[in-house]
Structure 1
Amino acid sequence: EVNLTAPFLMAKSVLPAMRTQHYGRIINISSSAGRMVSTLGGAHYTASKAGLLGLTRAAAKELGKFGITVNAICPGMIDTELTREHASSEVLERLTASYPVPRLGTALEVADLICFAASEAAGYITGVSLDINGGDLMM
């Protein structure tokens, strides 16, 4: 419910104001797990994040005419407490060693991408999944 239902309900709650303003940015936080099999999460996590990507594309198609963009941020392995609870440093080093940028991402890097997606500079970007994963999906 947190990964798919909550973003749907949140978007639904802000849409009336966005439509009135003829402007809005909906930024869903998905995961690289929604675009490939999750390294650390289970099938339920992967399915919910993939569903959020579908919701993002469908909403972008429906809402663009109201001046509302809808995009998804798809972080890969980010250095957080939760990541470190699920995998040892050795496992994380082994996973990231094959990335073109061979390290974990930072929460600040994800936040910066979210700020870009919310900015005027991203006004013609909609319905996309913005990957932030050190190039992991290229592998």
Structure 2
Amino acid sequence: MPVSELTAVVTGGASARGIGRATAHALAASGWNVAILDLDEAGAKDAAHEVGERSGSRTAGIACDVTDEDSVAAALTALDAVLPPVGALVNNAGITSPVPFCEVSGAEWDRVFAVNVRGAYNITRRLVPGMAERGFGRVVFLSSVSAERGGGVFGGVAYSAAKAAQLGFARALAREVGPRGVTVNSVAPGLIDTDITAGGLDADRERALLAGVPMGRKGRTRDVADLITYLCREETSYVTGATYDVNGGSHIH
């Protein structure tokens, strides 16, 4: 089934300068219909309108709290009514936490895992069975270089642990659903120019981080979005269980 007859779901895609919105634009430009799910309903609708205007693809912006199973069910019911079947899922919704481990409360730990891990489970569990039934699917997790190198960029232990959990989730799921035509991969961005990093790093810390990036700059959201779009192509059918680094060389392994 061509991607023009399928929908790509991007969670957490409302932010104007985020990886999710850039990914929605890139997917739509490559022919996908696109649904943007976000806690911020107005932002999701604005993003969907922008993507549709630029690409001509069919789009929808829908309110969704990925941590709440009922909210996910309602959002996907609304999606089913307006767009074609889902063929790709980009688990982009996430939150960071720079709190040092010895200061992390149980509530903060649970908050970080609720969005990054349980949220990804809630929506992936709903969408993957349909992909498997149709014999085609693409799932991409937005992990982080922090999961691979053990923090050291912006997020602390809770964030690094949650993003590492996503890598294990993706790899195990790839084994399970690969025989049914569904690929599952992860992307691990480094320092990317988004509102999160712009608001969370002082100038000295940013200079120190960039000194360790061979490319000498922050990544652009498009750098990540283009890779995600490649992984979602119909032709990218023999790549699964992999983790792709987008970090300008700051972590080479």
Report matched runs for 1:69-84 at 5 Å. Answer: 69-84=183-198
Query: In structure 2, how many angstroms separate the alpha carbons of the residues matched to 1:116 and 1:29?
Result: 14
Indicate the structure (1 or 2) with the bigger Cα radius of gyration: 2
Correspondent of 1:111 among 225, 231, 236 = 225
Report matched runs for 1:113-132 at 5 Å. Answer: 113-132=227-246
In the alignment, structure 1 segments of 5+ residues that lack a partner are none
8 Å contact from structure 1 (residues 93, 103) kept in 2: no
RCO higher in structure (CA 8 A, sep ≥6): 1
Identity, % of aligned positions: 35
8 Å contact from structure 1 (residues 71, 129) kept in 2: yes
Query: In structure 1, how many angstroms separate the alpha carbons of the residues matched to 2:240 and 2:224?
Result: 18
How far has the Cα of 1:90 moved from its partner? 3.1
Runs of at least 4 residues of structure 1 off by over 6 A? Answer: none
How far has the Cα of 1:102 moved from its partner? 1.2
In the alignment, structure 2 segments of 5+ residues that lack a partner are 1-113
**Normalised TM-score (structure 1):** 0.94
* Count of residue pairs brought into register by the alignment: 139
Q: One-letter code of the match for 1:13?
A: R
**Normalised TM-score (structure 2):** 0.53
- The answer to whether residue 139 in structure 2 is matched with residue 26 in structure 1 is yes
How far has the Cα of 1:44 moved from its partner? 0.6
8 Å contact from structure 1 (residues 74, 132) kept in 2: yes
Correspondent of 2:205 among 88, 91, 104 = 91
Query: In structure 2, how many angstroms separate the alpha carbons of the residues matched to 1:50 and 1:3?
Result: 10
User: Residue 89 and residue 121 in structure 1: after superposition, are their counterparts in 2 closer, same or farther (change >3 A)?
Assistant: farther
What do residues 38-75 of structure 1 show as CA deviations (whole Å, max 9, x unaligned)? Answer: 12111110000000000010000111001000001111
